[in-house]
Structure formats: C-alpha cells, structure tokens
A and B are shown apart, each in its own frame.
Chain A
Amino acid sequence: MTVQKSLTRRGVKVLIRFVRTHPKPFSVAMVGAVLYAGAAVLGTIVLGRLTDKVLAPSFDGGVSASRVWFFVAAIVIAALLRSAGVILRRYSAAVTSRRMQVTLRSAITEKYLAAPMSWLRDTPTGQLLAHADSDVEAAVEAINPLPLSLGLVALIVFAVISLVSADPVLSLIGLCLFPSLFVLNRFYTHRIEAPAAAAQACVGAVSAIAHESFDGVMVVKSLGLESHEVDRLAAAADRLQTERLKIGRLRAVFEPLLDVLPSLGAIAVLAVGAWRVSNGAMTPGDMVQVIATFNLLAFPMRVLGFLLEEISRSVVAMDRIDGVLSAPSVPVPTQAKSLPDGLLSLECDDLGYSFTESDVVLEGCCLRVEPGEVVALVGVTGTGKSTLCELFAGMMSQDSGSLRVGGTAYQELSTEDLHREVALVFQESFLFADTVLENLTFGTASSEDAARALRVAQADRFVAALGDGLETVLGERGVTLSGGQRQRIALARALARNPRVLILDDATSAIDPIVEARILDGLRNEFSVTTLIVAHRVSTIALADRVAILRQGRIAATGTHAELLATDADYRALVYAYEHEGKAVS
C-alpha cells in the first residue's frame, strides 16, 4: 500500500514534469476535456427539456413545428460540441505524449553521443535500444488518459449543479451513488493489482523459457530433451493460467457489481421521482435529465483506476530513462592548442587505466612513436592493446599519466582537432548502412582523397566491381562484403581523412598477407603518417620499423623484430603461438 502510494506520488511528479515540458498542447487537451464535460451535461438538460417542452405537450395537444426543430437542432449541436471536445482532447493529448517522446528520445540519444565509452560498453546494446524504444513508449503512456481523468472533475461539478437544479432530493441519491462507485472501483483496482503483476511476471517467465529453449535447440535436439522442455513450459504456462483465472474471478465479481450500482440508482430515481412528479415537485423531464446524468457519471470512475495503473508503468520507465540521462558526459576541453605542422610524434608516459578498481589494464605504460615511424604493438590476448589504441585515439581519458601527440597533451586539444589528426581503425570493421562514398567521406572529405584512400587500401578494384561502384549501398539492405573487404573499406575511411597519425587495432587481420604488405607499402609511399599497428601475424610485424611488446599493462621491451627475436624468449614464443592459434581455414 505504501509502495503504491509513494509510486503514485512519484507518478504525479513525472506527470507534472511532462506537462511542464509541453504545456501548450496539454492545455488544449484540457480545454477539450472541459468542453466535453459541459456539452455532455448540456445534452442531458436538452433531453429533459425535450421531454417537458416537446414530447409531453405533443401527446396532449400539440407543439409548434419551430419548437420541435429547435430541439432537434439542440440535440445535434450538443453531440457536435461533445465531439469537438473529444477530438480536441484526444488529439492534443496525443500531441503532448508524442512530443514528449521526441523530447525524451532526443535526450537519450544525445546522452549516447556524449557518455563515456566505458559506460556504453558496459550497457548491452539491446538495453540501449530498449531505452530509446519501449521505455520512452511506456513512459509517456500515462499522458493519454490524463486529460480525461482531470476532465472528470469538471464533469462532476457540472453534473452536480445540473442535478441539484433539477431536483435536490434526487441529487441525494447521486451523492450516495458516486462515492460508492468510486470506492468500489478503488477496491477493485487494488485487489487486481497483485494478480495482474503476478500474471505479468508469468508472461515474462514463459517468454524466458521459450527464448532459452529455442536458443539451445541444438542441445535440446541432440540430447532428446524435448519433453523435459515441454514440461518446463507447461508448468510456467499453467502458473500463468492460474493467475489469469484469479484476475478473471475478480473481474467476474466486480464488473457486474459496477454495472448493477448505476442501474439500482436509476431505479431509485424512478421510484422516488414518480412520487415527486405526482406531487408536482418536479416534472417528468427533470426525472429523465437525472437518469441521463447518472448514465454520464456512472462509468468514468473507472478511468481513475486505469490512470493509476499507467502511472506506475510510467514511473518505472522514467526511472530507467533518468538512469540513462544521469550517466556522466565526457567533458569538453575548454582551452584548445593547435598542433604543429608536419609529421607528429605520439607518446604516452606513465599511463594508467583500469576498468574497475580491481581490473587494472594499463599501469606505468610508456611508449614513444617517432614522427613518420611505423611501430607494431604486440602482446597476448587481454593485455590492453585495444585499450591503449583507444586512449591514443582520444576515445576515453586515462586515469593517470599523460598522452601527447606532436608534443601537445591530449587535454589541451580540441576534440575535433584530435579526431581529424589521429585516426583509429578498429578490430571490428563497422560500416554504416549507406553508400560506399558516404562511408568514406561522410560528406566532408573530397572525392579525390576518397579515391586515393581506396587505392592505397587496395579496395579500389573490388569497389569498382560492385554494382553501383561508389554509390553501392552497404549493409542489411544492400551489398554484403567479406570480412577482408570490410576491413579495407574501414581502412580507406580512415585514410580519406588524411590523418597524420594512424592507429590500426588488428585492423588487417582478415586481409591476405600479400595484399596487406601492398597496403603498408602504399601507406609509406603516399602518406606521411605516424603509424601504430596492433598485429598478430609475423608478416605484419616484420613490416614495422620497430616492435613494442605490451606485457602486464606496460611496454616491456621495444626493438626491431630481429632484435627481439634474438633477445626475448617470450617474444619468440608469442610470435610462434600466433602462427598456430590465429590462422583459421574458413
């Protein structure tokens, strides 16, 4: 109960926040809700007056045709006003909730662009997508019934005025009926909460079993576990059925009760009303008006229960969204120095980085790549080669020590400068689902640069062979490239920016060694670039000017390939191991 209460209180805060963000459409929706309330009560008054002024006299003698048409017009106009109210309310409520979705989605995606890489890596992709999709969808859902619920207040006020003016005695019946309906409803929604939540949990359980079972279908099949799996699902489905039946049983009691109360109210009105009409205390029209008003008010009490349900879902979804929005943003450097012209050196000094307190990746790492030099970075899996590359590419900030390019510390460089001059090519060659050209230039690099980049990356020939050449669309709806081709495009993408520092993080692993050698030759001849290259294959390592070995978070040794082979037994073992582990047939 207290949980529900605090949830409701937080729900109100969430709703106020929504309304404050988009007050205009919400105000229009409220105008619509009040218009509906007024027109609905007006309709009941028209019905009552129609009975007294038109129908009753017509059977006693007659009424003028103009009066009849006046009332016919009044009936239709009341309906049109009601409709106008409904349209205004529903449309504007939709505008409010959809605009709020835009607000939330923009904020969430903006956060994805600004949050630290480590945060993004720690959050599963599916979850990042769910925040922008179902969480946003669920968060704003409570906006839709809100104007109707708030409009209820107006409806009740108008209805009570109309009732009292029609007949104070009969309005007493209404004053007993409405609160009892409200209480009954509250009780109902409260009782149904637990089984509804339980049923939702059961749906989740059923779904989890189906997912797991079909994911592991190979194991299920090869071990003959089909009946075991069916039993498991049947048990979960049975629990779901039990919870659903509980809900059904509650509904079967409350739904008819909620129907019965207004009917009993109407019967009471008729019994008392007929007596008062015979006394001349009221007219038949008053009685009709009161019954019609009862009809109007009997059901809306239910919307409150519905709103409460939606509010709790909104709160849960908003909690998750706020969790995203409160993630840190990477600070933007305030003062920006510019880099010197010509070739740039790349260095790190006493560099430290850790994922968590206990999971230290780099510690006291020192490395200097001279301007124009090609250095190969080697080390066993999990020593932090990729982390070092990403630090050098400015994708995250170090915990301790310093990073410098061209002698300038990273924190003194603008992000744009850094990303223009230092290009990282990743292990996983992610390409955008767009044309080859767009993937190379992103609308900024020139097409000559793109052409040269493609040529040096040894990608010009196969791109030309694609259906539409540079205009060929890649990705799911377009052409699928092989791993090596993707890597070559990814490399060309980096080269098209004419970077002065190039970092290749195992970015040539799927490329044939002969082609790779040609690529590195082209790089030396046509680009003046400082290169750090993470490599596994001896063929790649042998092409570097110098080799740096990363071991236990620091650079353990540097030297030429030949020097290291001669002096470092671990290096020999490492290079030998690569030859046997790394190469795959398929």
Chain B
Amino acid sequence: MTPPIDPVAEELLSIQHSYESSHREDESDQDDEEISGTLAVLRLGLKTSPELKRGIWITIAFAFIVAFGRLLIPILIQQVLDRGFRGGKFNGSFVYAACGATALAVLSLAALSRLSYMRLVRAAEATMFALRVRVFEHIHRLSMAEHTESRKGVLVARVTSDIETLARFAQWGGISWIINSTVIVLTVIVMTTYSWVLTLVVVLAFVPALPVLRFMQRRQLRAYDEVRTKTADMLAEVSEMVTGIAVVRGYGLEARARTRIRQRIEALLRAHLRAARYFAAMFTIGDIFGSIALGGVTAVAVFHGDVIGIGLGETVAFLFLVQVLLNPIAELSEILDLTQTAVAGWRKVLAVLEIPVDVADPVVSEGATRNPLPDGSLSVQVRGVDFAYRQGDLVLLDVSVEIPAGARVAVVGETGSGKTTFAKILCRIADPVAGVVLVGGVALHEVDGMSRRKAIRMVPQDGFLFDTSVRENVRFGSPGASDSEIDAAFLSLGLQWWVDGLVDGLETAAGERGDNLSVGERQLVALARAQLSGAGLLVLDEATSAVDPETERALSDALDRLAAGRTTVTIAHRLSTAEASDLVLVFDKGRLVEQGRHDDLSVGAGTYAKLYQSWLGNTRNQANAEVIE
C-alpha cells in the first residue's frame, strides 16, 4: 500500500541525503583513477567481499514475494468492485472470502518480509565488518611511504567515513534498490495482465519524466558541489581567523576579519539556497507526471473502455497501481545520488586495497629458514640505495656507507635532505627502490620480521604513546616482558627518579597519543622500550622542539647509557651531538655529500663546514660581548 507520494520516506531520505551531499569530503587524491566505471567497482567489490554474494538469489526471490504484497490491495479493490456486485446484487460470500484471503496473505508476507530483511541486514553488516578489518589491516601493512603526513587523514577516512557511507547505503540504499525495482517490475506485469493499452498509456506518460529527473539531478549535484566549495571557503576563513587570532586581536583587525567571514557565510547561504531550489522541486516531478498518467488512463478507459475490454474495477485498480509506481520511482531517483556517493566510497576503499604491500616479510620456501640477526651491536652496510615516495621524485640518490658495529653516527642535513628517510630505511619501515641494506652482514629484506624488530629499534622524535599505562607502553616493545624487567629498564637508564615523580609511577596513564606526558618524557619511555628489547642497532630521531632543562639532562644521560655496546644512528638537530659522534653523515638533496669525523669536516668549505660556520656566528658575537666586558 502506497500513498500518492510517501511524504515520510521522501523526507527522511532527502533530508539525510542533502546533509550528506553537502558533507562529502572534499579531497583530491588520485586513487579514483585506478578503478574506472561503476561496473568495475561492483565487480571488484564483489570479488573482495564474497560475503555479499552468499545466498543473494534466495534473498532476491524473497524480495519479489515481499514486493508482491504491495500490489495486493489494488487487486482486491478490482476484485471487489468487479465481482462483489454481480448484476447489482451484493455477493457477500465472495467479498468476505476475498478479503479474508488477502488479510492472510498480507500477514504471511509480513512474516516473510521480516526474514528477507534480516538476510539483507546480516549480509550487509558481515560485509562491512570484514571490509573494514581488511582495509585497516592492509593500510597497516603498507609501506611507510604511504603513511605520509598529508595522507594520514585520507587513510583514516578510508576506514571510517568511506566505509560508513557504504554501511549507510547497505542499510538504506541497497535494500531500497532491490525492493523498489522488484515493485516496479511486478506492478508493470500486473498492469499488463489488466490491459496492455492502459499500461502503454502509463509508460508513455512516465517516459518524459525520466530526462527531466535526470536533468534536475545533474543540476542538483552541481549545486551541491558549489555548496561544498563554499563550505570549504567559509571554514578556511574561520580557520584563518582562529589560528591567527593573536594577530587579528593584537593589530585590531577585527573589522577586516568580520567583513571577510560575513562575505563567506553569505556566499554559502546563496549556494545553499540555489541547491534548495532543486531539492524542493525534485519530488514534485513524479507526482505531476503521475497525475498525467492518471488523467490519461481515465480518458482512455472512459472513451475506449469497450474497445479494450476493461471494466470499472480494473480501471480503479489501475488508478491505484499508478500510485504504487510513484513511490519507488521517487525513492530510486533519490537513492541514485546516495548510490553514487556509496560507489565513490567503495572505489576509494578498493583502491587502497589495490596498493601493493611492499614491505613484506620474506616468504619461507621449502627447506630454507628466515635469517635471524646476530646478537650484540650490529654493523650496517648501505649500497647504492635509491628511494622515492609514491608518485614522487627520488628522495634518496645512490647512498652508500659503511658503519662499523658499535659506532656512534650522527646524520645531519637540512629539512628535506633525506636524513629521516635514510633512518627509516635502516629500520625497514620503508624499502629502497634500488640498492641493498645489510645489517650485521645480512640483507635486511631477508631478515625475519620478529628478529628485525627486536634487534633494530627506532626511537621516533614524536614519541607517540598508546592510550594505556606507561608500563604497558614499554611492554609493547617486548611482549611477555615481566614487570620487574620493565622496572629494571628504567633503573638501568638512571630514570628511577623520573618514574618516582609520576603520579602513579609506571601505572600512570599516558593519555591519548601520550598527551599526559611531555615530548621529552615520551622519548624517555621510548628509550626504556629500546633498552628492554636489547637491540643491537638504535636509530634515534633527536627532538627539535625545546625540552625543559631537567628532561633534557635526563634524556642525554639515558641516551649515553643506552648507547653503550650498541650501534647508534642519530638524526642530529644539534651540532653538539655531531661533535660527540664517531662518524658524521651529511645529507643534501637526497645525496650523502660528506662523511667523516666532525674535526675533519668542520674545516674547509663543505656543506658541513657551512653549517658549522653559521653556528659559530653566534659564538663570535659572544666573544665580542666578552671583549666589551
């Protein structure tokens, strides 16, 4: 049973859709190009999610039977009108039998529809669950080259909002597609059994509605695009004001900020109202063309009823059937947009799954074993290494270096010189595109993953911590380590006083991303982690941001103790670190331009010497000051 246009379903869908359309994420990444066409997305999607196909035919068969339920009432009307009053006499037994039978059918179809709905929901939810976990796992297995700062948000969106778009579609859209298209097909079939001429009239009346709907929809989509752009503009302006609020306030620029924001807000309003025009008009199209169909059916039935052999009941039933058709048409035109969004989301998700995992653990072939790394401090040989991030230029170019076991190495260079990438390659967080890295004499890509993680430790600059206790954060580095081993790690680094100063000692919560601790303190935790693992090669990224003097001292002291008996490679931001090292590696524009001891490199006109000179600039001034004194 369907009203002329179901105003609620219409409202529910369109409101939700208008919200989504204006909130679709605005991002420009090139993933989309890889899988073109909706069909390709569907094919790949079904291949990726076999859960979706399981029992799909039974579900569709159910949907057909359920859809038939919507046609029962018009058929009953026809039966009662045509056969309930045979020759002007009331045929009570027929009417009550027909009504009783229909009531029974309606109830049993409701029970069946519950079953069919559950099947759809279960399939959809199982698919969403599996897909989400698969994408998440895949992203974690991607090379570090994919995890650049600018792509982080995109990757999170793949696991959250993109999959949610799909889930929303699976809950509303998918079911709606199946039910509504079967309703349309069945309605047309039933209509044809009454009269093919009148069916033709209806179809002819609706045909011109399709291009009109399509046209309106295109305009609407364009209008929503405009809304998105203007929303982004407005937010950019607010964001600029908020981040620059100190300047705005300090320089009395309030009026300027106000005017600019007002302009953006007003521009957004205009875009919204333009979109609202189409949003408001879209739904009337089905109703208007439907009324033309009703009028057409009436005129043809009245003027030519005897020729086409149609009675009163059939004509009235036809009028109701036309109305049954209206709802699915309106709903589908609405869902088309939701579908496009979902397909776009699906495409993005699938594109992530298509990115090959390039840091894979070595496959164990028959009879071979994965190579473990030796214990103790490890030597490093880098030979002819090139590296490039996806779709980018080479960031490392033909880098070769020999680092003896137990050496203290400082890596220096300007931002973007490739020194951080070099460090990542030593830990195999990314694989070089050319060349080879040997650690402890073993080619790094042949080393067993477990052994590598134990023997090579990276201490990142931003000591990210998980939202659990400090103790658990240290344990992450060596699963199975006992509490006393963790205590001992802090003790051996001379950090017992620091632990004692924490509110709950090692049980103190680190907070989200480790926010409860300062940057320097987070590095202390990372150092304890490295100490616990007994690694033979440490790769340290020195903090650039200021650390308070006390933590600074604790850090350098702990580092000294940690470095004993290990090979250390430090990305140095301070020349004092470089001064104290055995070997300085100087990077410039992706090349290793100089290597040697500080004393040798600091004289002459090389890159390192220039860096050193700029530092000396200060000391000279200090010298001047002392002369004055």
A441 to chain B, nearest CB (A): 11
Give the interface SS of chain A, mostly helix, strand, loop or mixed.
helix
The answer to whether A158 has its CB under 8 Å from any CB of chain B is no
The answer to whether B181 has its CB under 8 Å from any CB of chain A is no
Contacts of A102 in B (CB 8 A): 265-266, 269
A301 to chain B, nearest CB (A): 8
Report B236-261 residues with CB < 8 Å from chain A CB.
236, 238-254, 256-258, 261
Query: Quick check: which of B123-131, B367-375, B382-390 contacts chain A, the rest being far away?
Result: B123-131
Query: Which chain B residue has the least Cβ–Cβ distance from A104?
Result: B265
Flag A69-97 by CB within 8 Å of B: 1 or 0 each. 10111011011101100110111001100
Contacts of A234 in B (CB 8 A): 133
The answer to whether A433 has its CB under 8 Å from any CB of chain B is yes
How many angstroms between the C-alpha atoms of A240 and B159 in the bound complex?
A: 13
Query: Which chain B residue has the least Cβ–Cβ distance from A248?
Result: B121
The answer to whether A371 has its CB under 8 Å from any CB of chain B is no
The answer to whether B60 has its CB under 8 Å from any CB of chain A is no
Flag B173-210 by CB within 8 Å of A: 1 or 0 each. 00000000000000000000000000000000000000
Q: Is the CB of A206 within 8 A of B256?
A: no
Determine the interface band of chain A, counting residues with CB < 8 A from chain B.
Answer: 35 or more
Q: Is the CB of B103 within 8 A of A264?
A: yes
How many angstroms between the C-alpha atoms of A69 and B107 in the bound complex?
A: 40
Top 9 nearest A-B pairs (CB, nearest first) are A278-B90, A79-B291, A83-B284, A248-B121, A419-B252, A94-B276, A539-B621, A90-B280, A72-B295
The answer to whether B589 has its CB under 8 Å from any CB of chain A is no
Q: Is the CB of B615 within 8 A of A86?
A: no
Query: Which chain A residue has the least Cβ–Cβ distance from B285?
Result: A83
Q: Is the CB of B90 within 8 A of A275?
A: yes
- Known contacts A106-B262, A264-B103, then 6 further A-B pairs from the complex at CB < 8 Å, ordered by chain A residue: A87-B280, A112-B242, A133-B235, A207-B160, A277-B85, A581-B546
Contacts of B246 in A (CB 8 A): 117, 390, 395, 426, 428, 430
Q: Is the CB of B245 within 8 A of A148?
A: no
Q: Is the CB of B273 within 8 A of A256?
A: no
Query: Quick check: which of B33-41, B212-220, B298-306, B480-488 contacts chain A, the rest being far away?
Result: B298-306
Q: Is the CB of B453 within 8 A of A270?
A: no
Report B81-111 residues with CB < 8 Å from chain A CB.
81, 84-85, 89-90, 92, 95-96, 99, 102-103, 106-107, 109-111
- A82's partner among B4, B243, B248, B250 (CB-CB below 8 A) is B4
Flag A57-72 by CB within 8 Å of B: 1 or 0 each. 0110001010011011
- B76's partner among A58, A216, A270, A395 (CB-CB below 8 A) is A270
Contacts of A75 in B (CB 8 A): 291, 294-295, 298
Query: Quick check: which of B7-15, B342-350, B433-441, B498-506 contacts chain A, the rest being far away?
Result: B7-15
Q: Is the CB of B413 within 8 A of A263?
A: no
How many angstroms between the C-alpha atoms of A58 and B238 in the bound complex?
A: 68
Contacts of A299 in B (CB 8 A): 3, 6-9
Once A210-B159, A256-B113, A584-B544 are accepted as A-B contacts, the answer to whether A128 and B250 lie under 8 Å apart by CB is no
- A210's partner among B156, B302, B465, B548 (CB-CB below 8 A) is B156
Give the interface SS of chain B, mostly helix, strand, loop or mixed.
helix
Q: Is the CB of B316 within 8 A of A288?
A: yes
Q: Is the CB of A218 within 8 A of B458?
A: yes
How many angstroms between the C-alpha atoms of A137 and B242 in the bound complex?
A: 19
| Most central of B1, B240, B277, B460 by chain A CB within 10 Å | B1
Contacts of B147 in A (CB 8 A): 214, 217-218
Once A395-B246, A537-B618 are accepted as A-B contacts, the answer to whether A562 and B625 lie under 8 Å apart by CB is yes
- B298's partner among A55, A65, A112, A381 (CB-CB below 8 A) is A55
Once A75-B294, A79-B287, A395-B250 are accepted as A-B contacts, the answer to whether A561 and B625 lie under 8 Å apart by CB is yes
Contacts of A288 in B (CB 8 A): 77, 316
Q: Is the CB of B242 within 8 A of A128?
A: yes
Once A94-B272, A302-B8, A306-B11 are accepted as A-B contacts, the answer to whether A109 and B19 lie under 8 Å apart by CB is no
Contacts of B256 in A (CB 8 A): 442-443
Contacts of B133 in A (CB 8 A): 230, 233-234, 237
The answer to whether B399 has its CB under 8 Å from any CB of chain A is no
A77 to chain B, nearest CB (A): 9
Once A259-B1, A274-B84 are accepted as A-B contacts, the answer to whether A68 and B15 lie under 8 Å apart by CB is no
The answer to whether A303 has its CB under 8 Å from any CB of chain B is yes
Flag B283-313 by CB within 8 Å of A: 1 or 0 each. 1100110111011001101110100000110
19 A-B pairs with C-beta separation under 8 A: A106-B262, A109-B257, A128-B242, A212-B513, A219-B460, A220-B140, A253-B114, A256-B109, A256-B117, A266-B76, A267-B76, A267-B99, A271-B99, A284-B312, A294-B1, A303-B8, A430-B244, A561-B625, A562-B628
Query: Which chain A residue has the least Cβ–Cβ distance from B106?
Result: A263
Q: Is the CB of B629 within 8 A of A566?
A: yes
Query: Which chain B residue has the least Cβ–Cβ distance from A152?
Result: B7
- A225's partner among B266, B276, B311, B476 (CB-CB below 8 A) is B476
Q: Is the CB of A248 within 8 A of B118?
A: yes
Q: Is the CB of A58 within 8 A of B125?
A: no
How many angstroms between the C-alpha atoms of A113 and B171 in the bound complex?
A: 43
Q: Is the CB of A55 within 8 A of B301?
A: yes
Flag A98-140 by CB within 8 Å of B: 1 or 0 each. 1101100110011011000100100001001100110001000
Contacts of B280 in A (CB 8 A): 86-87, 89-91, 94
Contacts of B23 in A (CB 8 A): 137
